[in-house]
Amino acid sequence: MVLRNELSHIFRTEFQKKEKLSFAKQELDRLAEDYRNNLPLYKKAWRTDIFVSDSDYLDASTVYDVLNNSDEYKIRIDPYSSITLFSNNRQFLMDLGNNLNTDIINFWEPDVNYVELLKSKTKIQIVDVPAALPVKVWFNSTRVNKDFGNWIRSNRDKCKIGKIALDSLDNFGYLNGLYIYLRDDKVLSLVTIMAGASIRCVEKLVYSGDIDKY
């Protein structure tokens, strides 16, 4: 389920330093008094303050309450103030969506023909065309050795990386939340040796026309 909320950033995993959703609670508590006193609500962004509607504040509070009392989800905060929630519990997502003020909600669920495959194997993404580089590697916040960038440039036949990801690797040594595509499991083994501590997860891109082979 995907929704837009100006307070989406408070749910970013890396901000929750103390305990589950601690930063989200801190920010909502900060806004609570202004809301009770009918004062305008703002969030801080760099050197300016951005207005937050009462509706977004109330929805963020609802999301916080629901997520704080559940472990049946994973969350991703996307650009443009979007919150993406993943869950195997369809009703959990539907109930949350029905309790929100926003009507900017997108909901996706697997094609019924792919459910058994997705249940039997973890980290699979169904794609509509065969993938030349069918292994997708996501990275975490652990620093990556910058020499990894040189390896990528020397092995373009084995991997593919976006410009933003490569620039981040070159300039900062981080690939947090970014990914690369690899040719096969042998290349994955090499990447694991070079950057294993920085790998968050690995996905296999499975062509929908090859489902019967799994």
The answer to whether residue 18 scores a pLDDT higher than 90 is no
Co-location of 99 and 124 in the same domain: no
Co-location of 52 and 35 in the same domain: yes
pLDDT tens-digit readout, 111-128: 777 677 666 655 888 888
**Mean confidence (pLDDT) of the chain:** 90
Indicate the residue among 106, 136, 158 that finishes a domain.
106
Co-location of 47 and 118 in the same domain: no
Mean pLDDT computed over 54-68? 97
Q: 3-state SS string over the chain?
A: CEEECCCHHHHCHHHCCCCCCHHHHHHHHHHHHHHHCCCCEEEEECCEEEEECHHHHHHHHHHHHHHHCCCCCEEEEECCCEEEEECCCHHHHHHHHHCCCCCCEECCCCCHHHHHHHHHCCCEEEECCCCCCCEEEEECCCCCCCHHHHHHHHCCCCEEECHHHHHHHHHHCCCCCCEEEECCHHHHHHHHHHHHHHEEEEEEEEEHHHHHHC
Co-location of 10 and 69 in the same domain: yes
| Count: domains in the chain | 2
Count of residues for the chain?
214
Co-location of 68 and 120 in the same domain: no
Indicate the residue among 106, 130, 156 that finishes a domain.
106
Q: What would you report as the CA-atom Rg of the chain, rounded to the nearest whole angstrom?
A: 20
Co-location of 101 and 118 in the same domain: no
Co-location of 93 and 188 in the same domain: no
Residues in Cβ contact with 102 at an 8 Å cutoff, skipping those fewer than 6 apart: 3, 4, 5, 55, 56, 59
The answer to whether residue 196 scores a pLDDT higher than 90 is no
pLDDT tens-digit readout, 136-183: 999 998 999 888 999 999 999 999 999 999 999 999 888 999 999 999
Which residue range forms the structural domain that includes residue 177? 114-213
Mean pLDDT computed over 185-208? 90
Indicate the residue among 54, 80, 106 that finishes a domain.
106
How much is the pLDDT for 26?
Answer: 94
pTM score, two decimals? Answer: 0.62
- Neighbouring-strand partners of residue 187: none
Per-residue confidence band for 55, with pLDDT thresholds at 50, 70 and 90: very high
- Neighbouring-strand partners of residue 84: 2, 76
The answer to whether residue 38 scores a pLDDT higher than 90 is yes
